[in-house]
């Protein structure tokens, strides 16, 4: 399902900005409105936009199906490990980093990766049924 | 320390997906799965009873988790059942198939979700973990190759999600009124108001639906009978217990009047006998067991509605063990055809002993574990309600006499030891648990057993067992609509009855 030149060019231009914006939301989630989930959704939207405009086959070559699965599961594991790391400092998920916001920053980044990869993964799986590129 | 077991199961679930994507050998996957399934139990033993707030935050801001006298039985039942089911599913699922390997991750998510729900002392956290368990349960039901399994999973999905959304709406109302999500703080701050009455009514009906209790049980027989055998055991044994624990969190926290409790008692009693009546008419062995879940959850609700939470918790634990064992046993014997009379345990002493022991346990016969919870529930009921317990026991025994008489007629097929041992293990646990809780032989049980046998013979003469209700069918959307309408009526009943 390849779309017209206008749509394809626009998506190509918008996508990098979307990824930047997602990174901003994740990295500044503890200071300003935003956070991991929102950043992750926007991250996924960047990929999903590319898929809808350029077609599944072409995008899949760059963002492989297994990558999404890999990032998703390793981010999930890291999320639990972050909580377990807090154990050394007293409690599960204790806020042990001395930086501003503590573990909220790494937490947001991991959640962003998890959500972004998860949504992309779900979209890939749903596309399997309409694979009429 | 209390969140650690849940974290272990979650971590192993994520690791399984990761390793599966990296195409690691099958033995490694099995190892990770077993670690996730079995390690939480010793950690819980190590942690012991207590309460803490995750991350060391103040109680008002953080998420409180606790292991108390009340949720310990739930946890024990779930962990014991899951250990046996884990061994069983390693033999049951074909892990060579790339698709089936994901099943292990889903099972671990279910495990983590249930444990998380049982340790929660916070309504929202409880909701989240119950959802993790439910979502894995839908997909596990859909994993079955059986005809109608996808349909059953869809029906389960729609109704369970409806209940979840209503539950979270009710949690929102509670938060709005009291300003807290922590159950202890809600108890201190709740004042009787219209909003809280509505919240209690809506939340309780949502939990009743998820627990599969009588008027809202419509999704349960299909989902529990069509699922793969180890999943059926988990669904009936553990997943329906999470909403029961939710009721234990909610009922004492919010001001509930006498009329509401009476209505719940009535619902529980109807559920007990409706489940038995429907089970007597079933020809499909797993469907028969599924209807018994409706009946047995009635006992749990009976305990909860009479504010005898300890009794409900112990009965839930007992139900986890014997119903899980029965599902594993009947499911492995009837793998080809589940029609009663086409399979059985004749010539297979291990299976015969285990299934008979588990059948006696579900009937509440004494040295086995079911009797303890039943005794606790019985001792705390006022007079007319008291009758439901022994009458229900006799009814259950009648139904299981029927099941066993069919099983005794059928010739047993040769089963691998890895299928038989979990069933035997659960039967022995049922016995050991009963002895541990200090049960002895009770002469009254002989009376129940002979009454059950007599009624069974009478019903057989009358030809009741030849009849079999049609399993429904038709448009699945229509069915969901009908069940939703019942749900709405039930919510209205529970909400309005409190204003009296």
Between CA B122 and CA B180 the distance in angstroms is 9
**Neighboring chain B residues of A95 at a CB cutoff of 8 Å:** 55-56
Count CB neighbours of A27 within 10 A.
15
Confidence check: pLDDT of B431 > 80: yes
The mean per-residue pLDDT over the stretch B33-43 comes to 88
The answer to whether residue B310 neighbours chain A at the CB level (below 8 Å) is: no
Place of tokens 């039943």: B374
Mean pLDDT of B121-135: 92
pLDDT in tens, A29-50: 888 888 889 999 999 999 888 8
pLDDT in tens, A87-120: 888 788 888 888 888 888 889 999 999 999 999 8
Distance from CA of B11 to the nearest CA of A (A): 5
Among A69, A77, A95, the residue with its CB nearest the CB of B55 is A95
Q: Write down the domain spans for chain B.
A: 3-463+475-498
**Boundaries of domain holding A87:** 5-131
Which residues of chain A make contact with B62, given a CB cutoff of 8 A?
Answer: none
* Secondary structure class of B67 (helix, strand, coil): strand
pLDDT at residue B472 in the model: 59
Tell me, letter by letter, the H, E, C secondary structure of B340-404.
Answer: CCCCCCECCHHHHHHHHHHHHHHCCCCCCCHHHHHHHHHHCCCHHHHCHHHHHHHHHHHHHHHHH
* Res B332: pLDDT: 85
| CA distance to partner chain A, nearest, from residue B54 (Å) | 6
- Contact across the interface for A92 and B22, Cβ inside 8 Å: no
**Residue B497 DSSP class:** G
The residue among A65, A73, A86, A90 with the most chain B CBs within 10 A of its CB, best to mutate, is A73
Give A27 to chain B, closest Cα distance, Å.
Answer: 21
Instruction: Give the dihedral of Cα atoms B185, B189, B194, B196; nearest 10 deg.
Output: 0
B122 by DSSP, 3-state: which?
strand
The average pLDDT across B151-180 equals 91
**pLDDT tens sequence across B289-330:** 889 999 999 999 989 988 888 989 999 999 999 999 999 888
Contact indicator for B68, B307 with CB cutoff of 8 Å: no
ipTM (interface pTM): 0.88
pLDDT at A37: 92
For B355-364, write each residue's pLDDT tens digit. 888 888 888 8
**Are residues A92 and B1, on separate chains, in Cβ contact within 8 Å?**
yes
Q: Do A84 and B11 touch (CB under 8 A)?
A: yes
pLDDT on residue B82: 92
Q: How confident is the model at residue B385 (pLDDT cuts 50, 70, 90)?
A: confident
Q: Confidence band (pLDDT; 50, 70, 90) for B462? A: confident
CA distance A36 to B94: 37
Report the 10 Å Cβ neighbour count for A19: 17
Instruction: Give A-chain residues touching B14 at CB under 8 angstroms.
Output: 73-74, 76-77, 79-80
Pick among B6, B12, B21 to test the A interface (most A CBs inside 10 A): B21
Number of H helices, E strands in chain A: 5, 0
Residue B20 Cα, gap to closest chain A Cα (Å): 9
Residues B90 and B78: their CA atoms lie apart, in Å, by: 18
Q: Is the CB of residue B341 less than 8 Å from the CB of residue B349?
A: no
Can you give the pLDDT at residue A111?
93
pLDDT at B217 over 70: yes
SS3 assignment, position B213: coil
Helices (H), B39-182: 40-47, 72-92, 102-119, 123-142, 149-178
Closest CB from A69, A91, A95 relative to B17: A69
Per residue in B132-152, pLDDT (tens digit) is 999 999 989 988 888 888 888
Query: Which is it for strands B64-67 and B50-53: parallel, antiparallel or unpaired?
Result: antiparallel
According to the 3-state scheme, what is the secondary structure of A66-97? Answer: HHHHHHHHHHHHHHHHHHHHHHHHCCCCCCCC
* For residues B411-430, average pLDDT: 83
Which percentage of chain B shows pLDDT scores above 90? 21
Interface test with B, best of A70, A72, A77, A121 (most B CBs within 10 A): A77
pTM of the predicted structure, to 2 decimals: 0.90
Confidence class for position B115, pLDDT limits 50, 70, 90: very high
Q: Is B35 on the interface with A (CB under 8 A)?
A: no
Burial of B111 (0-12, 13-18, 19+ CB in 10 A): buried
The secondary structure element, H or E, covering residue B295 is helix B285-305
Neighbours of B455 (CB within 10 A): 16
Between positions 311 and 340 of B, the ones with CB within 8 A of A are none
**The predicted structure's pLDDT at residue B203:** 92
Tell me the chain B residues in contact with residue A93 when contact means C-beta distances shorter than 8 Å. Answer: 3, 54-55
- Taking residue B50's Cβ as centre, other Cβ atoms within 10 Å add up to 11
Residue B29: Cβ within 10 Å count: 19
- Residue of B220, B208, B310, B313 lying closest to B263 (CA atoms): B208
Asked if B14's CB is within 8 angstroms of A66's CB, the reply is no
Provide mean pLDDT across the span B359-375.
85
Total structural domains in chain A? 1
| Interface touch B18/A81, C-beta < 8 Å | no
Residues 6+ apart with CB under 8 A from B474: none
Q: Which residues of A touch B18 (CB under 8 A)?
A: 70, 73-74, 77
- The secondary structure element, H or E, covering residue B37 is helix B26-38
| Mean model confidence pLDDT for chain B | 86
């Amino acid at each position: 399902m390849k779309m017209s030149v206008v749509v394809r060019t626009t998506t190509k231009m918008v996508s990098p900005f979307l990824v930047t914006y997602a990174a901003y939301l994740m990295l500044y989630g503890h200071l300003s409105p935003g956070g991991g989930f929102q950043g992750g959704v926007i991250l996924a939207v960047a990929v999903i936009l590319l898929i809808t405009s350029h077609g599944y086959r072409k995008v899949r070559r760059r963002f492989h199906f297994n990558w999404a699965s890999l990032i998703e599961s390793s981010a999930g594991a890291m999320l639990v490990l972050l909580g377990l790391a807090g154990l050394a400092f007293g409690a599960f998920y204790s806020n042990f980093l001395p930086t501003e916001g503590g573990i909220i920053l790494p937490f947001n980044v991991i959640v962003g990766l998890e959500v972004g990869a998860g949504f992309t993964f779900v979209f890939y799986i749903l596309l399997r049924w309409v694979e009429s590129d | 320390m209390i969140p650690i077991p849940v974290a272990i199961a979650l971590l192993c679930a994520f690791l399984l997906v990761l390793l599966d994507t990296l195409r690691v050998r099958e033995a490694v996957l099995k190892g990770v799965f077993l670690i996730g399934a079995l390690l939480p139990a010793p950690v819980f033993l190590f942690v012991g009873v207590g309460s803490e707030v995750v991350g060391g935050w103040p109680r008002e801001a953080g998420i409180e988790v606790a292991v108390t006298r009340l949720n310990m039985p739930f946890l024990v039942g779930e962990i014991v059942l899951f250990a046996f089911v884990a061994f069983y599913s390693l033999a049951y699922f074909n892990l060579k198939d790339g698709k089936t390997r994901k099943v292990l991750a889903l099972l671990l998510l279910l495990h983590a979700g249930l444990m998380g729900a049982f340790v929660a002392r916070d309504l929202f956290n409880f909701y989240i973990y119950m959802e993790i368990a439910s979502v894995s349960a839908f997909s596990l039901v859909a994993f079955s190759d059986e005809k109608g399994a996808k349909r059953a999973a869809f029906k389960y999905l729609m109704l369970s999600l409806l209940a979840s959304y209503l539950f979270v709406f009710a949690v929102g109302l509670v938060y709005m009124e009291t300003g807290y999500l922590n159950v202890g703080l809600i108890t201190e701050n709740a004042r009787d108001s219209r909003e809280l009455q509505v919240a209690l009514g809506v939340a309780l009906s949502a939990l009743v639906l998820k627990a599969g209790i009588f008027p809202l049980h419509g999704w349960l027989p299909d989902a529990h009978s069509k699922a793969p055998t180890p999943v059926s055991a988990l669904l009936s044994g553990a997943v329906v217990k999470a909403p029961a624990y939710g009721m234990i969190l909610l009922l004492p926290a919010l001001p509930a009047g006498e009329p509401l409790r009476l209505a719940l008692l009535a619902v529980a009693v109807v559920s007990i006998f409706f489940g038995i009546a429907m089970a007597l008419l079933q020809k499909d062995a797993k469907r028969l067991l599924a209807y018994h879940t409706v009946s047995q959850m009635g006992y749990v609700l009976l305990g909860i509605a009479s504010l005898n939470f300890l009794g409900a918790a112990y009965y839930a634990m007992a139900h986890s063990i014997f119903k899980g064992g029965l599902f594993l046993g009947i499911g492995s014997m009837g793998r080809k055809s589940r029609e009663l009379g086409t399979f059985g345990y004749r010539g297979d002493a291990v299976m015969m002993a285990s299934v008979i022991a588990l059948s006696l346990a579900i009937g509440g016969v004494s040295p086995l574990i079911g009797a303890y919870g039943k005794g606790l529930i019985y001792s705390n009921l006022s007079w007319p309600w008291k009758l439901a317990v022994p009458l229900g026991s006799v009814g259950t025994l009648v139904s299981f006499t029927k099941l066993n008489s069919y099983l005794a007629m059928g010739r047993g097929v040769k089963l691998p030891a890895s299928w038989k041992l979990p069933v035997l293990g659960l039967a022995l646990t049922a016995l050991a648990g009963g002895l541990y809780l200090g049960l002895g032989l009770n002469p009254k049980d002989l009376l129940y057993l002979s009454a059950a046998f007599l009624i069974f013979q009478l019903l057989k003469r009358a030809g009741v067992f030849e009849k079999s209700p049609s399993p429904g069918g038709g448009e699945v959307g229509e069915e969901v609509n009908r069940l939703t309408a019942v749900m709405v009526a039930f919510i209205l009943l529970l909400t309005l009855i409190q204003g009296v």
